[in-house]
Amino acid sequence: MDKVCNAVPPAVLKVMQRLEAQGFETFVVGGFLRDLFLARETFDIDLATAARPEEIECVLGGYKVVPTGIQHGTVTVLVEDLSLEVTTFRRDGAYADHRHPTMVTYSETIEEDLSRRDFTINALAWNDKRGLLDPHGGFDDLKRSVVRAVGNPDKRFKEDALRILRALRLSSELQFTIDDACSEALVKNASLLLFVARERIREEWVRLIQGTGAAQVMSQYANVLSDVIPGIDKLQRSNLYEQSLRRLKFVKKDPDMRLAAFYYDLGEDAAQLTSSLKELRFDNATIDRVVHLTGAKALIITPQRRSILMAMHVLQPESFFEVLALRRADAMAALPGNYLESSKAGNYLESSKESIKTGDVSYIDHIDQKARQLLAQGEFLTLQDLAVDGQDMLDAGYKGRTIGKKLEQALFCVMLEGVPNTREAILHELKKDE
């Protein structure tokens, strides 16, 4: 296929040709081909080869070869600005823990290697000599927009329970339907997700919620996810789950923003939300940001200049606009036209203390516009913008914690009350209140 040949970087083709020249069949496999045929942006290129790891290293002398997954027959070849994963054809032994094969043995053919893969749309291979290999009908499944397991789906999910989340994530990212047999098997085996490390669950779920089809997938498979994603049960009991899902559609595809949108109704309990995120092994920076954004739900912000500037001071401008984006998403998600087919339209409005109307969206947009005007006009200030600093406070006779309090008071005097931003005017204003 010329399309594939033209898409594969020349440096990668050169690696393939060097291996082929030594008699080792080598193929581009997996997600690169899938995404190429879907006209999606694609980054990583994986190769499968008949060469053993030590043979790869020998043939590719001159390249840096790193044994990143040598126990699975995988090495990483650094090619120009690419990290190219090259894996020996293999067959997997029995799976003892619903995640990892007890033994991996090398195989002789690409066909046997493709037969062990998870889904048909990932079981594609190409090289220049043999063209596209598609022994399991993955290309047709791409055209039909279907996620289907290679072989018996029940067996596939029992072998590696993480494949359950991969199916849901692919469905969300690609907006594909999950094949009926595959869907039935992943529901049946959902309890096996408890064997999967929380870090791996987090990685797949974060990608899932950033997918275009996240709301629909999480609505349809809530019972599959509820045992491993903290907060789902609580949101369901409060009739807030569907609103949390609808909200995802109206925020940008940023991991922290999507998390904040999902947990928006749980943000009032910062300790519980922190615990939930720690359970999924999120890093501290992510936890702090999500708790900060959701906690700001209670902050009153009006279109008045003073209210906007104070909110910006509390949140800082970047977070201020993210908080507005979450409020807008919440308002948009509550509009009747945005309900998911599977949701009960009255649940959220009945359980909410405030009725959300269409006007709230324009109200939030008005605040956003006013805030951007204030920023453009230089009306938002920080302590660094003041004509005074800590040394000025010391010189004026203030000590200890009083210095910080006086600097903040000075900021409010200048930013909110119109006191001239000069050392003399600020110190005069501070002395007036004593």
**Burial class of 28 by CB neighbour count within 10 A (0 to 12, 13 to 18, 19+):** buried
- Beta-ladder partners of 147: 178
On whether both 341 and 422 belong to a single domain, the answer is no
- CATH of residue 169's domain is 1.10.110.30
Output DSSP code: residue 296.
Answer: G
- Within a domain: 245: no
Residue 40 to residue 174: CA distance in whole angstroms:
9
Contacts of 106 (CB under 8 A, 6+ apart): 52, 73, 88, 89, 90, 91
Q: Are 324 and 372 in contact (CB under 8 A)?
A: no
Element (H, E) at 299: none
Domain assignment present for 91: yes
Number of structural domains, the chain? 4
241 domain-assigned:
no
Grouping H, G, I as helix, E, B as strand and the rest as coil, residue 79 is strand
How much helix, strand and coil, in percent to the nearest 5, is found in the chain?
Answer: 60, 10, 30
Q: pLDDT at position 115, please? A: 94
For residues 205 and 303, membership in a common domain is answered with no
48 shares its domain with 78: yes
Q: Are 72 and 87 in contact (CB under 8 A)?
A: yes
| Average pLDDT by stretches of 10, the chain with 434 residues | 85 95 96 94 90 94 89 90 92 67 82 95 96 96 97 94 97 97 97 95 97 96 96 95 95 97 95 96 97 96 96 96 97 78 41 47 95 97 96 94 95 96 95 76
Q: Residue 355 has what pLDDT?
A: 40
Domain membership of residue 258 (yes or no) is yes
- The CATH number covering residue 95 comes to 3.30.460.10
Q: What is the pLDDT of residue 345?
A: 38
Return d(Cα 412, Cα 380) in angstroms, integer. Answer: 10
Cα separations in angstroms, 275 against 176, 234, 267: 33, 14, 12
| Tokens standing for residue 313 | 């001071």
Do the Cβ atoms of 434 and 400 come closer than 8 Å? Answer: no
Whole-angstrom Cα distance, residue 167 to residue 182?
9
Judgement on whether residues 1 and 139 belong to the same structural domain of the protein: yes
Rounded (10°) CA dihedral 277, 283, 288, 293: -60
In the numeric block, the tokens 């032994």 are attached to: 93
Same domain, 13 and 129: yes
Cβ neighbours of 232 (radius 10 Å): 19
Residues 351 and 411 in one domain: no
> Hey, what are 257's tokens?
């923003």
Q: Nearest Cα to 136, choosing from 120, 122, 125, 152?
A: 120
Rounded to an integer, what distance in angstroms lies between the CA atom of residue 400 and that of residue 418? Answer: 27
Residues 19 and 140 in one domain: yes
Exposure letters 280-307 (e unless 16+ CB within 10 A, then b): bebeeebbebbbbbbbbbeeebeeeeeb
Q: Are residues 303 and 287 in the same domain?
A: yes
- Residue 358, pLDDT score: 43
At residue 32, the pLDDT reads 94
Task: Note the pLDDT of residue 293.
Answer: 97
Tell whether 269 is covered by a domain.
yes
Clarify whether residues 401 and 331 are in a common domain: no
Please tell me the pTM assigned to this model.
0.88
Beta bridge partners of 79: 82
Retrieve residue 355's tokens.
């009725």
Q: Is residue 306 part of a domain?
A: yes
Interstrand relation of 26-29 and 104-106 (parallel, antiparallel or unpaired): unpaired
**Coil vs helix vs strand at 164:** helix
Whether the CB-CB separation of 183 and 148 falls below 8 Å is answered with no
- What's the CATH number where 433 sits? 1.10.246
Owning domain of residue 427 = 382-434
Q: Among 92, 114, 144, identify where a domain stops.
A: 144
Concatenating the DSSP letter of every residue in 80-124 gives TTEEEEEEE-EEE--BSSSSSBS-EEE-S-HHHHHHTSSBGGG--
pLDDT at 356: 42
Instruction: Give the three-class secondary structure for 150.
Output: coil
Sequence-distant (≥ 6) Cβ neighbours of residue 224 within 8 angstroms = 164, 168, 186, 187, 190, 193
Residue 317 lies in a domain: yes
Residue 263 lies in a domain: yes
How do 131-133 and 125-127 pair as beta strands? antiparallel
pLDDT of residue 2: 75
Q: Is 332 exposed, middle or buried (0-12, 13-18, 19+ CB in 10 A)?
A: buried
Last residue of a domain, one of 90, 124, 144: 144
Cα 263 from chain centroid (whole Å):
14
Last residue of a domain, one of 105, 120, 144: 144
Enumerate the β-bridge partners of residue 86. 47, 75
What is the C-alpha separation between 285 and 347, in angstroms, rounded?
34
| Statement to judge: residues 36 and 116 lie in one domain | yes
293 with 324, same domain?
Answer: yes
Q: For residue 340, what pLDDT is reported? A: 54
Q: Are residues 285 and 347 in the same domain?
A: yes
